[in-house]
Amino acid sequence: MTRVGAYEAKTHLPKLLERVESGESIVITRHGEEVAYLVPPPNKSSQMDIGQAITQWKKSRRGVNLSGLKVRDLIDEGRR
């Protein structure tokens, strides 16, 4: 993976985007520390469609029971 400084990335962003578009991944650094990754988007064929996502979500909810819980209790728990 190619490493590029933040200043260079800002200066040469169009060229870096062309490289990423061709499949390369680039790490952007600031003072030698990694701060961002430029990576190509996942293939559309690898993304699941909405129907599959809903089916998978419904399967993951089976057996989950929230009876006896109050909304206020859940809100208070999240604030701790």
Domains in the chain, start-ordered, CATH in brackets? 2-38 (3.40.1620), 45-78 (no CATH)
Report pLDDT for 6.
96
| Number of residues in the chain | 80
What is the mean predicted confidence (pLDDT) over 68-79? 85
What is the mean predicted confidence (pLDDT) over 61-71? 81
Phi-psi region of 63 (alpha: psi -120 to 50; beta: other; left: phi over 0): left
Answer whether residue 25 shows pLDDT above 60: yes
Instruction: Give CA–CA dist 50/56, Å, rounded.
Output: 10
Contact, 2 vs 24, CB < 8 A? yes
